Amino acid sequence: SRAAPLPAAMAAPPLPARRWPLPLPAAEPLLFLATLSLGLQGPLATQYLWDRLGAERGYSGPNTTGPAGCGNSSAATDPLRQEVEVLVSHWNLCINLGGFFVGVFSVTLFGPWSDSVGRRPALILPALGMALQAAIYLLVMYLQLHVAYFLLGRVLSGLMGDYNLILASCFAYVADTSDKRARTFRVAVLEACLGTAGMLASIGGAQWRKAQGYINPFWLVLAASLAATLYAAFCLQESVKQQKPAKLFTLSHYKAVYKLYTAPENLSSRRKLALYTLAFFLLVTVHFGAKDLFVLYELGSPLCWAADLIGYGSAATYLAYLSSLGGLRLLQLCLEDTWVAEIGLISNISGLVVISLASTTPLMFTGYGILFLSMAATPVIRAKLSKLVSETEQGALFASVACVEALCSLVATGVFNSLYPASLHFMRGFPFLFGAIILLIPAAIIGWIEIWDSNRDYSHFSDASLSPADGGEGT
């Protein structure tokens, strides 16, 4: 009679059975294609808004007059130019707010849902949404529609999960197919795909836009999004082994994310989970906020960059992903992951301070160079978050991280795009200085957790060494 539980045990394999050997093809090509699409779209859309809104108000900006016309003293104080800068910043604010506000809810809905039905549906939908957004942008450019239609495309993409859901699903895919020892580097490799695709998009998109305008590069945006959709649908292998049907529109998905941070068991891990999430939120908010303003900052006086320099600048920001990957791998040979993250934060803070003071092209690129390890902190935090929860909670974890990233974009767009026009009259680079100051907080959080853990380990060792005095046998 006691042999009855055996079939049940066989029917429910142990947790390690969920681990797959790394499937081929993997998630990296899909993330590469999605990032290529996004990397092309961002600077092109900002420059299109600049030229379109400037032309409506009779202003010929630096994209047509060149740096010489923008850099003189009269251009630096031109109220019409400042009006165009404010308009572009406000339209970016509205478009991004609309998309990310919708994305906050859709990402947290699709993320836990993918734990049951699999990762592939959560990758197909947002890729298709990005393709739909690119198609609407093309219609705006072809038909000279009002730029408010950009907001429509952004909201539709947000409803389908947007780029943040692709990020979350790809990181969950890596968590499904990697062990804890290799996870930090695997996450860093995935983030390096962001840098490679972004660098190619920045250089190629800038040169292409300079030669042929906006429309032809946007066809590549559409093609890359469609290719990502087809790859997820027909090429990517499923990483969730035990798939089961699940309702999409249910509050249980939101509750799974909520319970991740409120479950009473293992209080210490939950506290660290909340602190690491706060550090991640602040770090990614600064990344998104600074990235949103780089192109606008470079277009204005005194830099007055043309399309080719803007492309090189964007490529330099993405190159930090690759240099951070190499630096992470080397520093892991002699340092704990925590201190690698701290070095990455120092690089980030120093680079933003230099950029905030940049008044010449060499100084601006010096700031970009100092950022060479700025992306080393994010893969460390993602890996530490993943290691704090059990294997059965990985889907809910990355859904919460996706929610945090969407919220980061929302807050970054609101704060930095509002701060930029408000600070033009006293310091154009103030938002970057503000970001550098904010990054001191995650640096303190990460360092404090590491020191706290070290003290606890030492305390346990001391208690163990004193136990013979309590009547036990010594060793």
Phi, psi of 248 (to 5 degrees): -85, -50
Matching residue, tokens 């010489």: 68
Question: Residue 301 falls within a domain, yes or no?
Answer: yes
Q: Among 300, 304, 313, which residue's Cα sits nearest to residue 66? A: 304
Task: Please give the residue range of the domain that contains residue 226.
Answer: 24-60+78-239+253-453
Q: What is the pLDDT of residue 103?
A: 82
Q: What is the pLDDT of residue 311?
A: 78
Q: And the tokens for 458? A: 């030492």
What is the chain's Cα-based Rg? 24
Question: Total domain count for the chain?
Answer: 1
Q: And the tokens for 311? A: 């492309």
* Angle (deg, nearest 10), helices 337-356 and 440-466: 160
Distance, C-alpha 102 to centroid of its chain: 17
Q: What is the pLDDT of residue 459?
A: 58
433 three-class SS: helix
Residue spans of beta strands (DSSP E) within 264-312:
none
Per-residue CA distances from 252 to 38, 242, 471 (Å): 31, 19, 52
Rounded Cα distance, 352 and 356, in Å: 6
Question: Residue 245 falls within a domain, yes or no?
Answer: no
Looking up residue 276, the CATH number of its domain turns out to be 1.20.1250.20
Rounded Cα distance, 108 and 253, in Å: 7
DSSP-assigned states of every residue in 3-38: TTHHHHHHHS--GGGGPPPPPSS-SHHHHHHHHHHH
Q: What is the pLDDT of residue 179?
A: 78
Rounded Cα distance, 445 and 439, in Å: 10
Question: Residue 464 falls within a domain, yes or no?
Answer: no
Question: Residue 104 falls within a domain, yes or no?
Answer: yes
**Could you give the count of Cα atoms lying within 13 Å of 55 in the half-sphere of its Cβ?**
10
Are residues 127 and 73 in contact, defined by beta-carbon separation less than 8 angstroms?
A: no
Quickly count: other Cβ atoms within 10 Å of residue 230's Cβ.
15
Q: What is the pLDDT of residue 17?
A: 42
Q: pLDDT tens track of the chain, all 475 residues?
A: 334 444 444 444 444 444 444 444 588 899 999 999 998 888 888 888 988 888 888 776 554 444 444 655 455 557 888 888 888 888 888 888 888 788 878 888 888 888 878 889 999 999 999 999 999 999 999 998 999 999 999 999 999 988 888 988 898 888 888 777 778 888 888 888 888 887 888 778 877 877 887 788 899 999 999 999 999 999 888 877 777 787 888 887 788 788 888 765 666 778 889 999 999 999 999 999 998 889 888 888 888 888 788 878 888 887 888 899 999 999 988 988 999 999 999 999 999 999 999 989 999 999 999 999 999 999 999 989 988 877 667 777 887 887 787 788 778 878 998 898 888 888 989 999 999 999 999 999 999 998 888 776 555 555 555 545 454 444 3
Question: Residue 273 falls within a domain, yes or no?
Answer: yes
The H or E element containing residue 335 is none
Q: Among 101, 90, 85, 40, which residue's Cα sits nearest to residue 409? A: 101
Matching residue, tokens 């310091």: 427
Question: Residue 158 falls within a domain, yes or no?
Answer: yes
Are residues 433 and 276 in contact, defined by beta-carbon separation less than 8 angstroms?
A: no
Question: Residue 122 falls within a domain, yes or no?
Answer: yes
Q: What is the pLDDT of residue 18?
A: 46
Per-residue CA distances from 433 to 224, 296, 354, 428 (Å): 35, 16, 9, 10
Are residues 229 and 38 in contact, defined by beta-carbon separation less than 8 angstroms?
A: no
Question: Residue 11 falls within a domain, yes or no?
Answer: no
Are residues 110 and 161 in contact, defined by beta-carbon separation less than 8 angstroms?
A: yes
Q: And the tokens for 202? A: 């920045």
What is residue 111's DSSP assignment?
H
Quickly count: other Cβ atoms within 10 Å of residue 257's Cβ.
21
Are residues 92 and 294 in contact, defined by beta-carbon separation less than 8 angstroms?
A: no
**Could you give the count of Cα atoms lying within 13 Å of 347 in the half-sphere of its Cβ?**
25
Q: What is the pLDDT of residue 389?
A: 77
Rounded Cα distance, 411 and 113, in Å: 25
